[in-house]
Structure formats: C-alpha cells, structure tokens
C-alpha cells in the first residue's frame, strides 16, 4: 500500500469517525444526561487516550511559556465549538446540525480575507452565497415547519468557533507543536469549561449503565481521539486539501446514522440544501487549484 492510498484511508476514517458524534451523544441524552456531563466525559477520557498516545510516541509534555496562553485560548474555542454543537442537538436533527457545521471552511476563507487580507476569489464569493442558500433551504425544515432558529444559531456559532480555532492555530506559534500534543492540551484546557459549568463537578451526573459507559468511551475514542489522529496522518500523507475534501464524509455519516437509527426525516428540500452546502465547501477547498488548472488548460489551447 503506497502513502497516497494510506492517506486517503486515514482521511476517510477521520471524517467518518467524526460524523459519529450523534451516534454516541444522542443515547446519552435519552438517558437523561446533560450536555455538560456528556462533554465532560468525552473530553476527560479523550485527554487520557491522547496522553497515553503521547507516552507511546515518547513525546514530552513540557510546554514553553509562550505556548500556554495561546493553548488556553484555543482550548476554550475548541470546547465552546463542541458545547454549541451538542446543545444544537436538543433543537434540531443531529444530521442537519452536522451539515450546517460543515460551513466552517467557508468561514475560514472569510476570516482570512477580512482580517489577513487574503484575496477572496469569485469562486469563494459564489461558494459563500451557495452555502447561505443551502442553509436557508435547511431552515425551511420539513414542510411548513421551520428548523429551530436557536438551534441554527448554536450550530453557526459552533462552526465560527472552530473556524477561529483553525485560523488561530495556523497563525500562531502553535503550528510548530506536534499535532497530538496540541490536541491533548487543547482538550485538557477545554475540559475546564465543563468543570466550571458543572459547578466544579458537583453537578456531574453518574453514567447509569454499563452500556452507556461503553457509549461514553466510544464517544471519547472514535469521533475525538481517533478522528484527530487520523486527520493528522492524512495531512502527512496526502496534504490538507484532499483531507479537507474527505471531510465531506462527516455530515454524510451523521445523516446516515440520524436517518437509519434515530428516524430523522430527510426530505427532498433538505437533500438539496445539504448538497448545496457540501458543494460550496468543496469549491472553497479546491477553488485555487481549480482556477490554476483552468488557466493552464487555456494557455495550452492557445498554443
């Protein structure tokens, strides 16, 4: 198996496993566990798994002073992104929420254009309009009943938090940290959000059954630790662009489990909206290379 094939496999695993968030979160909600409790356990056990992985890789846990504050900020952003997404599950179908979340590459493009003066191409503008149109279609929901406005606000804020996290990591000294170490500390500092929200664990709920213990551990391992590690490996083998394109499997996986296991409705209107969002994000990701290739083809034809 060559490195390119390995990269595509790792990228597919990363995206598909991240799309499993609703698969493990919704049964915990059904058992009466709060959003903060679910996310506390997710972050707590994910930090343990990543800490063990760092030990196996013989990575140092030592941090430079200059990295501590950026890591705290990135950890809080990462944590609030999870919190807002999981809160949205209480207001709308998890598959739809996961699709709207996927607009974060569009938000990254806007942030880079507005704050870092990166040129916004015509394809980027078209993609932004396409994504907004797709969200508008999803907002119409099933029939005449619109989706929850509060739910959509939560997802969009979650997507924005994650977009700022991505830009912040790439535009700071943290980009030089090993991925596992960066993720470990981001999750560790992010855990503080749930400790505070749970009144320093005084309001932490006990996991009620063996089956839900397995469900909680799966939530920490599959869509968290494994997804993040496989993403890093995919970027190493095939680069960030193909890995990001494979990220389209995230909402597809979430929708699959939502429809098949949780009986969420998937109407033609929703399908069109989902397709528009995935198309918009794919154009954002491959836009520059697409323009470059089209330019080369035009030059070849002139010759």
Report pLDDT for 144: 56
Q: How confident is the model over 205-243, as pLDDT tens digits? A: 999 999 999 999 999 999 888 887 887 778 778 766 566
State how far the Cα of 170 lies from the Cα of 175, in Å rounded to an integer: 5
**Among the listed residues 275, 213, 224, 252, the one whose alpha carbon sits nearest the alpha carbon of residue 98:** 252
Cβ-contact 261, 52 below 8 angstroms:
no
Q: Per the structure, how many domains does the chain have?
A: 1
Name the 3-class secondary structure at 142.
strand
Cβ-based neighbours of 288, under 8 Å, separated by 6 or more: 121
- Mean pLDDT by runs of 10 across the 303 residues of the chain is 82 86 91 95 95 92 91 93 93 85 80 80 80 76 69 93 84 81 92 96 94 94 86 74 69 80 79 84 70 70 63
What phi, psi does 142 have (nearest 5°)?
-100, 115
Report pLDDT for 150: 92
State how far the Cα of 11 lies from the Cα of 52, in Å rounded to an integer: 22
Cβ-based neighbours of 197, under 8 Å, separated by 6 or more: 36
Cβ-contact 22, 254 below 8 angstroms:
yes
State how far the Cα of 215 lies from the Cα of 22, in Å rounded to an integer: 11
Cβ-contact 224, 42 below 8 angstroms:
yes
Report pLDDT for 140: 61
State how far the Cα of 241 lies from the Cα of 295, in Å rounded to an integer: 19
Report pLDDT for 301: 66
Which residue in this structure is represented by tokens 């699709």? 99
- Residues spanned by the domain of 113: 3-301
Report pLDDT for 154: 96
């Amino acid at each position: 198996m060559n490195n390119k094939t390995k990269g595509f496999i790792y990228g597919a695993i990363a995206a598909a496993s991240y799309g499993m968030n609703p698969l493990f979160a919704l049964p915990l909600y059904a058992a009466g566990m709060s959003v903060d409790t679910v996310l506390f356990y997710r972050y707590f056990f994910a930090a343990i798994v990543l800490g063990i992985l760092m030990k196996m890789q013989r990575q140092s846990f030592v941090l430079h002073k200059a990295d501590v504050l950026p890591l705290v900020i990135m950890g809080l952003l990462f944590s609030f992104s999870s919190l807002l997404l999981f809160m949205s599950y209480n207001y709308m179908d998890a598959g739809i929420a996961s699709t709207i979340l996927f607009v974060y590459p569009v938000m990254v493009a806007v942030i880079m254009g507005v704050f870092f003066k990166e040129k916004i191409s015509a394809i980027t503008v078209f993609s932004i309009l396409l994504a907004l149109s797709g969200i508008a279609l999803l907002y119409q929901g099933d029939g005449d009943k619109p989706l929850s406005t509060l739910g959509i606000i939560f997802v969009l804020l979650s997507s924005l938090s994650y977009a700022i996290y991505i830009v912040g990591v790439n535009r700071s000294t943290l980009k030089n940290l090993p991925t596992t170490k960066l993720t470990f500390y981001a999750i560790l500092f992010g855990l503080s959000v749930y400790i505070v929200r749970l009144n320093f664990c005084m309001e932490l709920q006990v996991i009620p059954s063996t089956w839900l213990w397995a469900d909680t551990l799966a939530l920490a391992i599959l869509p968290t630790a494994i997804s993040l590690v496989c993403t890093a490996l995919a970027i190493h083998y095939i680069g960030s662009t193909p890995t990001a394109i494979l990220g389209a499997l995230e909402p597809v996986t979430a929708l699959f489990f939502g429809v098949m296991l949780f009986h969420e409705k998937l109407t033609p209107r929703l399908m069109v909206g989902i397709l528009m969002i995935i198309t918009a994000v794919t154009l954002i990701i491959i836009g520059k290379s697409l323009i470059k290739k089209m330019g080369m083809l035009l030059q070849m034809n002139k010759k």
